[in-house]
Amino acid sequence: MTAATPKDRATDGDAPSVHRIHVRVNGEAHTVEVASWVTLLDLLRDRWHLTGTKKGCDHGQCGACTVLVNGRRTLSCLQLAVMRDGAEITTVEGLEQGDGLHPLQVAFVQHDALQCGYCTPGQLCSAVGLINEGQATTLDEVRELMSGNLCRCGAYVQIAQAVAEVALHPGEHGSERASSPVVTGTVPG
């Protein structure tokens, strides 16, 4: 987390607080003054026109606003910009590598893991976070750990395959559940 304290500007009783913050977004340093109540999502979209990140629900329920903060996937709609002074932020616009697409972006295209594309930036940033976390070892775990990102078009099967390809290994991935019956009262190995 940050060690710097945002500098207050207006602090008297009736004036709302405005704070100056320094953040790095997709590798670029920015200094900006924000009101206390501005969310990171609104700052990214409205101030810096980084409109890749989407406002799907604005209440932390859909995952479309997922960005990476200091390498961790988080919901930008549920963070105050003023609390991210000193942070490194990565949005979907920052995923490209050199002149090319991020391997996840390539996999999403190859697996047809999008229809309208609205959830896609959030899915991609969430998948980058999932890979950084290193906790998913099977397709079922990838599905579980991507469940914070909703897709109203229903591209889940392809999204899971695309993420599994990059997070785990190339080739098709199958569910362990597909071949295991549910047996009451027993614990599968």
Judged by CB, which is closer to another protein: 52, or 148? 148
Three-state SS string across the chain, please? CCCCCCEECCCCCCCCCEEEEEEEECCEEEEEEEECCCEHHHHHHHHCCCCCCCCCCCCCCCCCCEEEECCEEEEHHHCEHHHHCCCEEECHHHCCECCECCHHHHHHHHCCCCCCCCCHHHHHHHHHHHHHHCCCCCHHHHHHHCCCCCCCCCCHHHHHHHHHHHHCCCCCCCCCHHHCCCCCCCCCC
Residue type, 56: G
Judged by CB, which is closer to another protein: 28, or 136? 136
Least CB distance to another protein at residue 113 (A) = 18
Judged by CB, which is closer to another protein: 98, or 185? 185
Least CB distance to another protein at residue 98 (A) = 28
Least CB distance to another protein at residue 90 (A) = 14
Judged by CB, which is closer to another protein: 63, or 121? 63
Closest CA to 112 of 169, 165, 61: 165
Contact 81, 34 (CB under 8 A): yes
Positions touching another protein (CB under 8 A) are 1, 3, 5-6, 11, 13-14, 16-17, 19, 35-37, 39, 58-60, 63, 66, 72-75, 78-80, 82-83, 126, 129-130, 133, 135, 140-141, 143-149, 177, 182, 184-188
Judged by CB, which is closer to another protein: 12, or 99? 12
Least CB distance to another protein at residue 36 (A) = 4
Judged by CB, which is closer to another protein: 170, or 188? 188
Least CB distance to another protein at residue 59 (A) = 5
Least CB distance to another protein at residue 131 (A) = 12
